[in-house]
Structure 1
């Protein structure tokens, strides 16, 4: 009996993921000695983006907050708005994470998950400097998205 049931179980084939995550690092504009890091995963149905910063004084053994995690998707009724849901909140990064998620979603028209530990207050940036960094991050993600689409 047991051998008959075992022979009827369909055999499955192990399949490797078809996506290749991209990791980018760049100096943040106007933030001295601060490096921005982006981890991108373009999936068929969504995009995953993780953002972080580092400075030369960061210790390799120190524990840093993972930051906030936000899901955003385009609004089907209005092309100019997006819907964002906070999955995990870190008070120091939630506003920045939500802003990045909504902007990228609006630009690429796909759902996106954004994890971000960038604390703009801790970096001590002026509003203009913060916006320049945000613009650079968004442009890099959109550029990589367009490149992988082709």
Structure 2
């Protein structure tokens, strides 16, 4: 007798979100907060920053981008912004495309990271170091947690 599993209950990956915080590379007083949900068919990621000083202002919503691998042209990942915030749309799109290509599955990325409190106020170098660090942490978590 074969056992049947109702649709939607079997999952290869964990559906419980993983939450972690790590410092910006050049601004140890500023943390990037990451929430990662590894579904069987896609990955959902939310990123934001908080500084060590207590602030009463809330972070803007940021951008939300969907990206998926292009099976006919693997180097040309497909993406579409679902919600845009001009301040971080480029960062969010690049991150979503890179992760979709590396993971070979669809990725949703919500991002409201601000590099304004970084050491030099958010230069290109600081943004690239933050980008690299996000990719390292996300891929490390996915390798570790399946």
| Aligned pair partner of 1:111 in 106, 113, 130 | 106
The TM-score with structure 2 as length reference comes to: 0.83
Judge conservation of contact 2:115–2:126 (CA < 8 Å) in 1. Answer: no
Matched, 1:79 2:85: no
CA distance in 1, matches of 2:90, 2:39: 25
1:121-136 pair list within 5 angstroms? 123=118, 124-136=121-133
| Aligned pair partner of 2:40 in 27, 37, 44 | 44
| Aligned pair partner of 2:143 in 143, 146, 149 | 146
**Residue 146 of structure 1, CA deviation:** 1.7
Structure 2: segments with no counterpart, 5+ residues: 1-5
Structure 1: segments with no counterpart, 5+ residues: 1-11
**Residue 91 of structure 1, CA deviation:** 1.2
Judge conservation of contact 1:31–1:125 (CA < 8 Å) in 2. Answer: no
**Residue 122 of structure 1, CA deviation:** 6.3
CA distance in 2, matches of 1:121, 1:97: 16
SS at match of 2:15: coil
CA RMSD of aligned residues (A): 2.0
Paired residues, number: 134
**Residue 27 of structure 1, CA deviation:** 0.8
CA distance in 1, matches of 2:65, 2:54: 25
